[in-house]
Structure 1
């Protein structure tokens, strides 16, 4: 699951049955988050994949409901900069699966930021801390975030529920620029999940696929 020093093969990971991930109740003195979140991991070889096989690659790593629980798990994870190509981390609100087809995502979209190699670990941590800290100030619009490690670049994306709400998507974009401290010339793209589904209706090429 991309835990540090985890040498298990991808094939072994894929063949394991997904077990329910229990959420611990907040302990004494812990600081509850506004939402429960679940961390997912996926890794696949380049080539064509279907929606069903993509779903099979998704593995739950842990769920958490407090700041302290997050750090207890997060410190044991490999950073994106240390992960092999074609690996993805997904951090989503509990109950929302990191799939375009999920009921919470299907009317939404995502902001996509392409990163030069070497920036993924810092940008990913800045993004998820901003998300957990409710810095985007858009109510329940944020669904989750994804970091996709690729050969020549890394791809960061932030998913929201309502693609048609331009005011909300613009606020998310502006906050994203701020929390990532992006250079003025950084290219950002917003893509609706319905467009992603249409573009990938017959197959999904994992080199181009950006969840």
Structure 2
């Protein structure tokens, strides 16, 4: 792995310099306090995240009218992994504070995904999943995005999922007058996970950022028009769909009134 950049670049040499008041190199008391703080932060161990995370950038987001013409390989080619893995809270803030979300261009996207997951519907770890998408005004998009990312790396989203389900990652896509912010999870058959993700987000957001009900929606990856899984996964999806239909029919039969 490439060497990780240092969080702080200013040294503490001024504290060891001559204290002669006439010396041109002597630090003021305020500067000495600042250096002491930096020294303290340097000696602190980074607070690790529970999972490693990667940042991806999509420079050529698929246009809806062309989605059927593009295969998975072409879409993967448009994804670029940025920087090194995020392994600590300090890593996250270094990345987040140096990523100008307001400069991301129309139809481009940025993703923060767990190591091992890629922001591709047809990826073997995502193919059975889905995502919540929130349409947010561009004026509040960066703040909303930071909060959703913190919920992801802080495991607030993971802890509300059903057993056996996983958060894959989160994404931000730029549209004409809004940001589309998404939360991906691995198993779209788990309704409790779907409901709890939404509830967790709405409870975490301050009132000024809370979206209206018509500005968020849930969708399975397999329901997107451009979804194109490999043949070996199509059989898995068909089997899951049949199982869900059978469960729905059984539930409907159980709740139906008895025949007279």
TM-score by length of 2: 0.62
Over aligned residue pairs, what C-alpha RMSD do you find?
2.3
Where relative contact order (Cα < 8 A, 6+ residues apart) is larger, the structure is 1
**1:126 lines up with 2:147 in the alignment:** yes
Aligned to 1:12: none
- Larger C-alpha radius of gyration, 1 or 2? 2
**Contact 2:53/2:115 (CA < 8 Å) preserved in 1?**
yes
Aligned to 1:200: 226
* Structure 2 counterparts to residues 155-174 of structure 1, below 5 A: 155-174=180-199
Aligned to 1:187: 215
Q: Which runs of 5+ in 1 are unaligned?
A: 1-20, 203-211
Aligned to 2:160: 138
Structure 2 Cα separation of the partners of residues 109 and 175 of structure 1:
17
**1:96 lines up with 2:117 in the alignment:** yes
Q: Which runs of 5+ in 2 are unaligned?
A: 5-42, 229-260
Structure 2 Cα separation of the partners of residues 23 and 102 of structure 1:
29
Q: Is the alpha carbon distance of 1:191 and 1:23 closer, same or farther for their aligned partners in structure 2, counting shifts above 3 Å? A: farther
**Contact 2:136/2:211 (CA < 8 Å) preserved in 1?**
no
Cα shift at 1:157: 0.7
**1:83 lines up with 2:109 in the alignment:** no
Cα shift at 1:54: 1.5
Aligned to 1:33: 49
Give the number of aligned pairs: 177
Structure 2 Cα separation of the partners of residues 166 and 22 of structure 1:
40
Structure 1 Cα separation of the partners of residues 80 and 139 of structure 2:
25
Cα shift at 1:144: 0.4
